[in-house]
Amino acid sequence: MHGNVIGEGAILCAYTTITSNAKIGKYFHANIYSYVAHDCVIGDFVTFAPDVHCNGGVMVEDYAYIGTGAILKQGTREKPIVIGRGAVVGMGAVVTKSVAPFTTVIGNPAAPLRK
């Protein structure tokens, strides 16, 4: 699609979509049915499980893992949603705010997993 830049080693499984103006780093893995919408910036070694909905203007930093069926709210230029380096978004989470690096979030709205 229009204006995307996708780094080496990307694995885009069946029924995945990258819409437009996305910048994706090295070794991205998008599992089945996931999408990356317009103006997203995805780092290196990022993994999307199946059916991840990454809405427009979201930044996902290096080594982040997004679980099955998670939905990431769209960001704006003034206030991007940032999934921090090495963060984990649990399956089914609805992420409405940025996630700090190396933090696991779950639920709707997503909040840190505390054990």
Ligand X SMILES: CC(C)(COP(=O)(O)OP(=O)(O)OC[C@H]1O[C@@H](n2cnc3c(N)ncnc32)[C@H](O)[C@@H]1OP(=O)(O)O)[C@@H](O)C(=O)NCCC(=O)NCCS
Residues 43-102 that bind ligand X (CB under 6 A): 49-50, 67-68, 88, 90-92
CA max distance for the chain: 43
Residue among 40 and 99 whose Cβ is closer to ligand X:
99
Is 2 annotated as catalytic? no
Residue among 16 and 39 whose Cβ is closer to ligand X:
16
4: its two tokens: 């995307």
To the nearest whole angstrom, how small is the minimum distance from the Cβ of residue 33 to ligand X?
A: 11
Q: What single-letter DSSP state applies at residue 25? A: -
Q: Nearest CA to 52 among 27, 65, 71?
A: 71
Alpha carbon distance 10, 83 (integer Å):
19
Query: Site mask, ligand X, residues 27-46, x = CB under 6 A?
Result: ----x---------------
CA gyration radius for the chain?
Answer: 12
- According to DSSP, the residues that pair with 60 across neighbouring strands are 42, 83
Residue among 4 and 45 whose Cβ is closer to ligand X:
45
Q: Which residues bind ligand X (CB under 6 A)?
A: 31, 49-50, 67-68, 88, 90-92, 104, 106-107, 113, 115
Question: Which residues form the catalytic set?
Answer: 38
